[in-house]
Amino acid sequence: MRHGPGMTLELIARCDQRVPRYTSYPTAPHFKPDITAETYAAWLAELAPDQPVSLYLHVPFCAELCLYCGCNTAVTRSYKAVAAYVDCLEREIELVTKHLPGRMDVSHIHWGGGTPTIVSPEDLERISSRLGSAFAIRPDAEIAVEIDPRTITLAHVEALAASGLNRASLGVQDFDPRVQETIKRIQSFEQTAQVAGWLRQAGVKGLNLDLMYGLPFQTSGSVIRSVDLALRLGPDRIALFGYAHVPWMKRHQALLPEEALPGAVARVEQREAASAAILEAGYVQIGIDHFAKPDDPMALRQKDGRLHRNFQGYTTDEATALIGFGTSAIGSLPQGYVQNAPTTVAYREAVMSGRLPVIRGAALTDDDRLRRGIIERLMCDFEVELDEIAREFGSSPTAFASEIEAVDALARDGLVTRDGLTIAVPEESRALVRNVCAVFDRYLESGAQRHSRAL
């Protein structure tokens, strides 16, 4: 295995602490209710009218519950609830645009869930056309959707393609029948290949596949077999996530057989085996958990040091404002973060009575912005120049004396290197970069919530 000199089993066990995924800073458990609908309205009004924004639409429904699921979703068997939700989304789009300084350009749209394609083809087109009148969607905008190959139909693909879809993420996780049976997600390779074919035929060029390790009964061998099958579909990007077992937050996960969950060392081995197989096939690694073909825009951004990280993970999106729509959706504005009501009942109640559904968030301080910049560069580039970034944010690296001490302690374990004010995470320790980021997280000590494992 490629643990490298620093990655001894003892170190893996010690670093296997719960650390955030750092898709934002401060992270969501630190959002506070003093950020209200009024704050959000003011922040929207202050957006620079000549700058593009990104949009995220959350659909919190699924046909069935996968037992590993960590998303905000609910099972619904009738379309009534989904149809009512579509009305809410339209209403929220109307409410948000009322506060914006004009008809703003859009550079990215991302549909996530849940299962966005639980929305009927007609309703998907309806929302897309509502977005098209509320915003000026740039001709080169990336329009992406998360797809569950088990339930999507050809009519969905055609409706999405007609609305400009140009990137699709197919959820796979694992093709092994025993693993699929255990996690309650039965999805054949043929079914997945058929949907990939539909998308390509409809002209959707970008194809991402999501795979997972650390699930019950997974072994390095089974993970490699799933990777090999996934590679046959020729995806442009692959996301490889470690299963996060947090049954105290996601109660259905308690139904998984805990004794069949791979331990910390087995997880590292699975991740490394899968990564090696993907790299062997000619992909380049992006950050901690993505892979892309070398000529993919994500790979090119990483090369130029212009890769970013947002709530969807790694992104090429450079917009400074991300507007979230739907239950629990998080928005990221230059002034700070906002989060919508976490339940669909509360969300619906707010939008249908004409209120922006924001219930909490975080206003960014200068210190937050600087620390967020450090964490983002570490997560994206595995390296940060403290003096350069401090200067960029009008600060001084002397403010980080205690963090530098903590970095040096990690350096003694081989997790990180420090050359003056340049902090770098060596290749063999990259899976533990979140532990290095945690050094710069001023909120971590006071975190009320537990996070998922680092590995």
Site for ligand SF4 in 163-192 (CB under 6 A): 171
What is the spatial distance between Cα 179 and Cα 192, in angstroms, rounded to a whole number? 16
Examine residue 81 and tell whether it contacts ligand SF4 (CB under 6 A): no
- The kind and range of the H/E element at 346 are helix 344-352
Least distance in Å: CB of 109 to ligand SF4?
19
Residue 71 is a binding residue for ligand SF4 (CB under 6 A): yes
Amino acid at residue number 67: L
8 A C-beta contact, residue 326 and residue 89 = yes
Q: Tell me the three state secondary structure of residue 171.
A: strand
Query: Is 244 or 404 the residue whose CB approaches ligand SF4 more closely?
Result: 244
Neighbours of 349 (CB within 10 A): 14
| Cβ 74 to ligand SF4 shortest distance, Å | 9
Cβ atoms of residues 266 and 1 within 8 Å? no
Phi, psi of 352 (to 5 degrees): -75, -20
Residues in the chain: 455
Choices 2-10, 113-121, 286-294, 320-328 (CB under 6 A): range interacting with ligand SF4: 113-121
Dihedral (CA of 320, 28, 287, 137) sign: negative
In Å, how far are 40, 119, 180, 406, 437 from 152, measured between CA atoms?
Answer: 34, 10, 18, 48, 38
Phi, psi of 305, rounded to the nearest 5 degrees: 70, 25
Cβ proximity to ligand SF4: between 148 and 317 the closer is 148
CA distance 85 to 357: 13
Nearer to ligand SF4, 170 or 433 (CB): 170
- Judged by CB, which is closer to ligand SF4: 7, or 118? 118
Looking at residue 397, the DSSP 8-state letter turns out to be: G
Among 20, 52, 114, 326, binds ligand SF4 (CB under 6 A): 114
**Interaction mask 40-69, ligand SF4, x per CB under 6 A:** ----------------------x--xx--x
| 73/107 with CB nearer ligand SF4 | 73
| Residue 73 in contact with ligand SF4, rule: CB under 6 A | yes
Toward ligand SF4, which CB reaches closer, 95 or 170? Answer: 170
- Based on CB atoms, which residue is closest to ligand SF4, 54 or 115? 115
> Interface with ligand SF4 by CB under 6 A: which range of 112-120, 201-209, 275-283, 329-337?
112-120
Binding ligand SF4 (rule: CB under 6 A), the pick from 16, 123, 148, 272 is 148
SS3 337: strand
CB of 171 to ligand SF4, least distance (A): 6
> What 3-state DSSP class applies to 35?
coil
- Residues lying near ligand SF4 in the complex (CB under 6 A) are found at 62, 65-66, 69, 71, 73, 113-115, 148, 171
